[in-house]
Amino acid sequence: MIFTFIVYYWILRFKPLTITIIMSDRKEHWENVYQTKQLTELSWYEPIPETSLSIIKRFKLPKDSAIIDIGGGDSLLVDYLLMLGYTNITVLDISAKAIARAKERLGEKASQVKWIVKDIIEFNPDRKYDLWHDRATFHFLLNKEEKDKYLEMVHKNLTPDGYMVLSTFSEEGPEKCSGLPVQQYSENSLPELFASYFEKIKCFTKMHITPFHTIQSFVFCSFRNKPVSSPRFLTELL
Ligand SMILES: C[S@@+](CC[C@H](N)C(=O)[O-])C[C@H]1O[C@@H](n2cnc3c(N)ncnc32)[C@H](O)[C@@H]1O
């Protein structure tokens, strides 16, 4: 009881410091994962990221559209996007080691990609994107403050009609990913959370077969950005 009180007091009193500690912990976690495991030893590994690619292809985006893969790690999505002819790709990940591995795999082609090592919660984009892709990163955000920050960031930094593809563990999926607790979502709860800023295009559940032949249930949702709303004082003036 006293311990719980002390923890709550600490979080309320020293919130920014607590968040910084959580953030440095998660960076350490992910650097360690990519230092110790090979690509094909990661449960989320896909030899071909077929589901993401088929959703992206349906948008029929021009090849020079600005695409960002959030928490891309050393996923092969960037390789396939390059193969499809996309020329304006950014990959962001909290782990420098993951980005280094992806760059090494791509060799000379790596120079055609913009690489960002950053915690998504600290990301302050200097441009707008036409497509925001996130497979299995958003679900690590557990508190409302971080989820809201993420939502607002995507909304503000996607072009007015830009697309978002978001994939998380489903309510039938695992409760942890890479040993960390995750927030599970359903085909209903994910669009509900994003409803104020995004129009749902489609949500569906997809089973992923891990390299260890276990099955993980994912939800995939695609969204279209809603126009950024005017500040209230402007709306009142009109
Ligand atoms: C489960 S893996 C998924 C990797 C990749 N998206 C895929 O589908 O193969 C989660 C990835 O998100 C990254 N990550 C986790 N938390 C992050 C955060 N707060 N900011 C940026 N990247 C993060 C990890 O380093 C890791 O590469």
Find, among 103, 102, 122, 99, the residue nearest to 111 by Cα: 103
The secondary structure element, H or E, covering residue 172 is none
Count structural domains, the chain.
Answer: 1
Q: Is 191 in the pocket of ligand 1 (CB under 6 A)?
A: no
Q: Is 44 in the pocket of ligand 1 (CB under 6 A)?
A: yes
Query: Using CA positions, which residue lies closest to atom 5 of ligand 1?
Result: 72
Q: Is 136 in the pocket of ligand 1 (CB under 6 A)?
A: yes
Find, among 169, 165, 181, the residue nearest to 215 by Cα: 169
| pLDDT per residue rounded down to tens, the chain (238 residues) | 554 455 445 444 554 444 554 678 999 999 999 999 999 999 999 999 999 999 999 999 999 999 999 999 999 999 999 999 999 999 999 999 999 999 999 999 999 999 999 999 999 999 999 999 999 999 999 999 999 999 999 999 999 999 999 999 999 999 999 999 999 999 999 999 999 999 999 999 999 999 999 999 999 999 999 987 655 444 444 4
CATH number for the domain spanning 112: value is 3.40.50.150
Q: Is the pTM of this model over 0.85?
A: yes
